[in-house]
Amino acid sequence: MTAPVIEMQGITKTFPGVRALSEVSFDVRPGEVQALVGENGAGKSTLIKILSGVYHADAGEVRMGGEPVHFAHPVESLRAGIAVIYQEFSLLPERSVAQNLFLGREPRGRFGLIDERRMHDETRKVLDLFATGGRIDPGRAVGTLDVATQQMVEIAKAVSHDARVIVMDEPTAALNDAECEELFTTVDRLRERGVAIIYITHRMREIARLADRVTVLKDGEVAARFDAVPEPGEIVHAMVGRDIADFYAPPATEAEIGDPVLTVTGGGNAHLHGIDMSVRAGEIVGLAGIQGAGRVALAMALFGQEPFETGEVTLAGERVSFRTPREAIEAGIGLLPGDRKSEGLVLMQSVRDNGMLTPRAFAPLWSSHKRTAQADLARIDELLDRMEIRAASYDQDIRALSGGNQQKAIVARWLSMRPKLLIFIEPTRGIDVNAKAGIYHLMRDLARGGAGILMISSDLPEVIGAADRILVMQEGRIAAEFPHGPTERDIMHAATGETEVAA
Amino acid sequence: MTDQSAAPDRKRRRLPQINPVWVLLAVLIAGIVYMNPGFAEPTGYMNFLKRAAPLAILAAGQVYVITSGGFDLSVGSLITLVVVGASMLTNNDPSATYWVIPLMLAMGLGVGAVNGAIVCFLRVPSLIATLGTMITLNGLAFLWSGGAPRGYLPDTFRFFGRELIRDVPLVRFIPVSVIVLIVVVGLFAWLMHRTNLGRMVHAIGDNPVAARLAGVPVNRVRISAFMLSGLSGAIAGILLGGFAGVSTDVGAGYELEAITAAVLGGAQLLGGRGSVPAALGGALALTAIFTLLNFLGLPQPVRQVVQGLILIAAVALAMHRRKRTGT
């Protein structure tokens, strides 16, 4: 057995109010894929940030090739051969692929000028290592490439730095199935070249496909270590500390579904055409479709952010038309945005302030911030408790919380408003398995309480598992409708328009 | 399960974290008292507070705009306009004060509303919008006075800036301006830290997109913040008219001092965080620094150099602290 290239021993790290890691040991060998799994907030990112020199461990040791190392800055770890590929890429969109690869270490030619040709050729050589790298033009601006290709450039950059260890943080989060396959091939090639890969993921399928060994973190400690990939159930069990028997809540029965909460007839604007749809009380409607099919545009039209210009909308039987989100909220609609950080949270404010945001927005400006018509502080605390939010204190800034906990705080905000229709956009993006199950059951509880739920998701198994009825959008129209339980194939056909040809 | 483990943390976090501005203020006061023991007497510190009052009130208003994610550069010119306008309108008639003062306060609110409307509806960044109103108001003050303001305000008007209330136990006397300071800062602090308005101001400065999607009436809140800043400018103008007299540069430079004071109190430039009491601390500290420089016999330009350096240092320190506390 080869010696580990990286060994981390007894790593402990504490942040104000939170012990992020305690006595974590972890190693990775050349030519293997070590999967690092755990819920959000389990400490994966912190561990990686310690490895790459972003944070410094309070206790413990990092060894590289047997020698203790101390990285004061990510640049030092990169020089030592550790490259981290985060979900947000570190590429300059206006620069070419080659310029990005050689940023800060451009090959020099005569008179100290940059040797464009050599840079181009070297880039070509690196890209050729990848299955589909040959398609990428080294001279093209990175910003014009799609996400999957940008990711490949990011990996190529790591390779060109002669990285011996490459860390990939949920690399498939933004990729479709075909792109995932390409990525897996790339990972296989890197493994053959003897690169050690630390692969962070939630997805069991990827672990089964790629991993040689698996380390599971839970609450800042190593919950389990597997020298071979076990059954998914075992990993999930180690991650959440219990079995997940009922991941999705059972679908609504006929009796639970009531009258339409929302109807749209002939709704249209710049992005949407001829939208006819309804959501009934007690029902979860899933909205599927590919990127840009108009799902988010539909949500924003219903919510008054980018209103319909034609057509009719009724809410609880009354004709409505909203020009702002505020009007929509007042009438009884709630919306959980798809991008928590940029659209959902006020990050510098406390967990409690984030929960109280909407109730306060509808209270008189000069009245006490402790009590509003919809909720007082005790009520918000109760809702936050019910969401099982993991925070040192509800007075803590929300930015320190994990994605799942942040999402729950936004849910608590809407619960206090008792909306008639609640729109969830990508409700479980970037949150862990346990919290996902929590969100599904919560949606079901809200539906049972008489609300209509519209769920937009790019995660097909989620749409199929959680929704009572599924609408599939394509190019700004609703292309198909399925009752509970279609296959992924059915939906993909409808989303890409192939059924129309077949029919 | 989370609650039990979190309980001790919850207590620990509640331990008061002292805002550095209070430490700075204490050091400066100690320095002043060391150089001039008379400062510890009521005459000394009451006069200090009286001099600091206009700036402290301005800073309390400015902190609303800064926390909401903007700047208000127009308050200095607004002060000038209030002083010049009041001298023109009262026209040496002591009884005119009773309608001129409410009118001036309304003008302050009005200027704030205009600033807010320009930012909200014309989408002009606040730095530029209020730079525009700053120049405009200065011009108006000149036009109104014909370039040569009459040097008088009736004593009834100057009462707020100049008079003292005597025979007060413990401190012997209290300037009226200090009472105005306490009332105004108290009111602004209550609005900022105990009402929905304050929370909404924080929210729109932190993330206007999220605030809008959560139903916050963003424009209404932003305009309110500018109106409070305008109101603070009008009040500061009334006080300054009382003890500085009438001129067309009476308010010059106050807008930048107010921003410096707010930032010294830890207000987050570009929004999301700000405190009225800390802005008061910032204004007192800035006044104390100027007092010290005066004692040291340093000329006026040094004051500007110091103020500039303080502004940079305060923001740099805030950035450093933010980085250290994570994210």
Per-residue confidence (pLDDT) for residue B107, from 0 to 100 = 97
Question: Mean pLDDT across the stretch A80-99?
Answer: 88
- Per-residue pLDDT reduced to its tens digit, B274-293: 999 999 999 999 999 999 98
DSSP letter at A2 equals: P
| Torsion over CA: B81, B83, B88, B89 (sign) | positive
β-pair partners for A318 = A315
B195/A367 CB distance under 8 A: yes
Token look-up 């007192």 returns B284
Tell me whether residue B234 is in a domain: yes
Gap from B133 CA to chain A (nearest CA, Å)? 27
Q: What is the DSSP string of B17-50?
A: PPPHHHHHHHHHHHHHHHH-GGGGSHHHHHHHHH
Residue A244 has pLDDT above 60, yes or no: no
Q: Is A496 on the interface with B (CB under 8 A)?
A: no
Structure tokens at A503: 């029919």
3-state secondary structure string across A117-166 = HHHHHHHHHHHCCCCCHHHCCCCCEHHHCCHHHHHHHHHHHHHHCCCCEE
Residue B9 pLDDT > 50: no
| Contact of B92 with B158, CB cutoff 8 Å | no
Strand partners, A21: A13
Give the mean model confidence (pLDDT) for residues A58-70: 90
Structural domain contains residue B44: no
Angstrom CA distances, A335 to A265, A374, B203, B241, B278, stand at: 21, 17, 17, 51, 36
- Give the span between the Cα atoms of A472 and A490, in whole angstroms: 10
**Beta bridge partner(s), residue A226:** A214
Calculate what percentage of chain A has a pLDDT beyond 90.
Answer: 44
CATH number at residue B191: 1.10.3470
Residues of B in contact with A322 (CB under 8 A): none
Q: Residue B323 has which token pair?
A: 């980085």
The candidate with the shortest Cα–Cα distance to A179, out of A244, A130, A139, is: A130
Q: Which residue of A has its CA nearest to B1?
A: A388
Residue B94: DSSP 8-state? G
User: Is residue A501's pLDDT more than 80?
Assistant: no
Kindly list the distances between the CA atom of residue A316 and the CA atoms of A67, A189, A285, in Å, as whole numbers in the listed order: 68, 57, 16
Domains of chain A with CATH codes? 6-240 (3.40.50.300), 257-332+420-503 (3.40.50.300), 344-418 (no CATH)
Contact of A387 with A427, CB cutoff 8 Å = no
Is position B123 within any domain? yes
Q: Is B40 a domain residue?
A: no
DSSP state, A218? E
Q: Side chain identity at B126, as an amino acid letter?
A: S
Beta-strand pair A260-268/A275-280: antiparallel
Q: Which of B3, B202, B215 sits opposite A326 (nearest CB)?
A: B215
pLDDT-derived band at A133, boundaries 50, 70, 90: low
**A350 has which bridge partners?**
A397
Counting the structural domains of chain B, the total is: 1
Beta bridge partners of A275: A267
Q: Do B206 and A347 touch (CB under 8 A)?
A: yes
Give the pLDDT confidence score for residue A158 in this predicted structure.
87
Query: What does the mean pLDDT of chain B come to?
Result: 89
Cα–Cα distances (Å) from A409 to A323, B202, B293, in that order, read 26, 18, 50
For residue A243, give how far its alpha carbon lies from the nearest alpha carbon of chain B (Å).
18
**Beta-ladder partners of A215:** A36, A225
Q: Which residues of B313-325 are buried (b: 16+ CB within 10 A; e: fewer)?
A: ebbeebeeeeeee
- Indicate the pLDDT class of residue A246, thresholds 50, 70 and 90: low
Q: How far is B86 from chain A (nearest CA, A)?
A: 30
Q: What is the pLDDT of residues B101-148, one digit of tens each?
A: 999 999 999 999 999 999 999 999 999 999 999 999 999 999 988 877
Evaluate whether A442 touches A336 at the Cβ level (below 8 Å): no
Dihedral sign from CA coordinates of B196, B202, B208, B209: negative
Q: Which domain holds residue B70?
A: 52-292+301-313
B-facing residues of A in 408-437 (CB < 8 A) are 413
Q: For residue A17, which residues of chain B lie inside 8 Å, CB to CB?
A: 9, 12-13
Residue B238 lies in a domain: yes
DSSP conformation letters of A320-379: E--SSHHHHHHHTEEEE-S-IIIII--TTSBHHHHHHHHHHHTS-TTSBTTB-SS-BHHH
Interface touch B210/A343, C-beta < 8 Å: yes
The answer as to whether B39 is a domain residue is no
Mean pLDDT computed over A54-60: 90
Percent composition of chain B: helix, strand, coil (DSSP 3-state, to 5): 75, 5, 20
Chain A's closest residue to B222, CA to CA, is A365
**Per-residue model confidence as pLDDT tens digits over A179-195:** 888 889 889 989 998 99
- Token pair belonging to A24: 């974590």
Q: What is the rounded radius of gyration, in angstroms, for the C-alpha atoms of chain B? A: 20
Q: Which two tokens stand for residue B149?
A: 């303001």
**Alpha-carbon gap, residue B228 to B113, rounded angstroms:** 9
Domain assignment present for residue B47? The answer is no
The upper half-sphere exposure of residue B188, i.e. CA atoms within 13 Å in the direction of its Cβ, equals: 33
In a domain, B261, yes or no: yes
Could you tell me which residues of chain B have a Cβ less than 8 Å from any Cβ in chain A? 2-3, 6, 9-10, 12-14, 191, 194-200, 202-203, 206-207, 209-217, 220-221, 224, 268, 272-273, 325-327
Tell me the per-residue pLDDT of A301-353, one tens digit each, with 9 for 90 and over. 999 999 999 999 999 999 999 999 999 999 999 999 988 889 999 999 999 99
Q: Which two tokens stand for residue B153?
A: 């305000």
Q: Which residues 6+ apart lie within 8 Å of A176 measured at CB? A: A148
